[in-house]
Structure 1
């Protein structure tokens, strides 16, 4: 009887020790994976004004949406469906980050002719709309329009220069393949790198610029896609540098 009591005491002691040292894992938000200090996100959800909803700092630090903007393990999943809400300046839905400054309080705005401005993205595209399988997954925008973007159409991953085709990065992109792109804006141009290899420099002098990253679906229901058709990407690393 004494042995049973001693065994029970030892067992309970071990149980209490293990219990006291076990850490309960907290929920992971996208901001735990990507530094979102100087970003805001636009989602394909209608806000109070009927346009696409925005989430800014400091709310963005503890925000996620299970369908459109969520931790996917080692990356952040961005999804936009073709029937989603849009911004006033576009007819295409997006789940996309927009560069900010001053801890997310103000909109970023810089020039391709002054200073050096760099954005690096490591990501993969996992799904495309069915009828019009076109998406944008990284861009520089100025005060009026997009300046240069990374665009996928089917299997063709390429650089788009404000509506004009630039260099093809690959003609055989396979969904789920991780790749890296880098934009370097300086001296009146934007250098593009793909998987750490320099591709070319797009000569452009413009101001009011900012970076964007995430899923910008280039289709909607008027193009023949269903309301639920969607584009999706996962971003693993997103870094912006200005100097």
Structure 2
């Protein structure tokens, strides 16, 4: 009888040890400090691609044959940017963020009328055609969600400036010929900067309000306004910019909470020009070793 009782106790003990070991294998292990840790499970990283339609955009990158010779890629070739080896260093998918990233640094490959390099999109209302653009009377809107990923600092420790969005003016062929200009370039009526963690807006105003309809076509007729700084510090977080243009009026908003509204004589006179949107990384430094990365999560234009 005592023998049977002893055998029964041994069986119960073996069962308890077996169950306890199984529970530990399922739930984790106990460290020397007595803290139970769960076994980590390997998870596959989810690939996310940006949902940005590039059908009506061309891109310019800081590579090419010197000043005025920066490479541009138009539709339909731009739609294959992810496999385009020329574009890949400057415009690529960040699949961990679900963003389209633009990288720029100082090179000799710039566009005409500037000393700065860019990895920047240029709107084309008709894919592959720079000659079809829009006026303020026709109107337009742009919505973008973006973030500054990285940017270098200058010798004083301040971050280098980046133009992230623009509305650029353009002369029609008739206007170009009328004033004897060699190209169709007109001033940018809107520049939106990222500057030391804040968003800054600059626009254009006439130097002389009485300038006539021919004189107003010259770039020299216009100058920069004093600029406007939004209060919110966006830093390196995501933020949303919205631009709305109508006849004689322009509005810029940050995160739908702050607004800069331009509704004056200058905007009404600007109606003489054609325009197009620009978006990306127009890097404002020539310092050696400087660079910036800008990621766009959303970009949408309507007319």
TM-score, scaled relative to structure 2: 0.63
Q: Which has the higher helix share?
A: 2
Indicate if the aligned counterparts of 1:191 and 1:198 stay in contact, CA closer than 8 A. Answer: no
1:85–1:49 distance in 2 versus 1, CA, 3 Å:
closer
Partner SS, residue 113 of structure 2: coil
Partner SS, residue 227 of structure 2: strand
Partner SS, residue 33 of structure 1: coil
Indicate if the aligned counterparts of 1:141 and 1:148 stay in contact, CA closer than 8 A. Answer: yes
CA RMSD after TM alignment? 2.3
Residue of structure 1 in register with 2:211 after alignment: none
Partner SS, residue 60 of structure 1: helix
The alignment status of 1:122 with 2:145, answered yes or no, reads yes
Report deviation, 1:52: 0.8
Write the distance in 2 (CA, Å) between the matches of 1:156 and 1:84: 28
Write the distance in 2 (CA, Å) between the matches of 1:118 and 1:134: 24
Residue of structure 2 in register with 1:237 after alignment: 298
Give deviations 1:48-107, integer Å, cap 9, x for gaps.
986110000111111243321000121100111023510012111000000002233344
The count of corresponding residues between Structure 1 and Structure 2 is 207
1:80–1:111 distance in 2 versus 1, CA, 3 Å:
same
Residue of structure 2 in register with 1:141 after alignment: 168
Partner SS, residue 233 of structure 2: coil
Residue of structure 1 in register with 2:192 after alignment: 150
Write the distance in 2 (CA, Å) between the matches of 1:77 and 1:154: 20
Indicate if the aligned counterparts of 1:181 and 1:192 stay in contact, CA closer than 8 A. Answer: yes
Residue of structure 2 in register with 1:68 after alignment: 90
Match of 1:191 among 248, 251, 256: 251
Indicate if the aligned counterparts of 2:66 and 2:108 stay in contact, CA closer than 8 A. Answer: no
TM-score, scaled relative to structure 1: 0.77
The alignment status of 1:104 with 2:118, answered yes or no, reads no
Match of 1:210 among 276, 288, 291: 276
The alignment status of 1:56 with 2:77, answered yes or no, reads no
1:134–1:125 distance in 2 versus 1, CA, 3 Å:
same
1:129–1:164 distance in 2 versus 1, CA, 3 Å:
farther
Which structure is larger by alpha-carbon Rg, 1 or 2?
2
Indicate if the aligned counterparts of 1:96 and 1:212 stay in contact, CA closer than 8 A. Answer: yes
Match of 2:260 among 186, 189, 200: 200
Gapped regions of structure 2 (runs ≥ 5): 1-46, 171-185, 205-223
Give deviations 1:131-165, integer Å, cap 9, x for gaps.
26111001111121111121122233211124334
Write the distance in 2 (CA, Å) between the matches of 1:118 and 1:51: 30
Partner SS, residue 164 of structure 2: strand
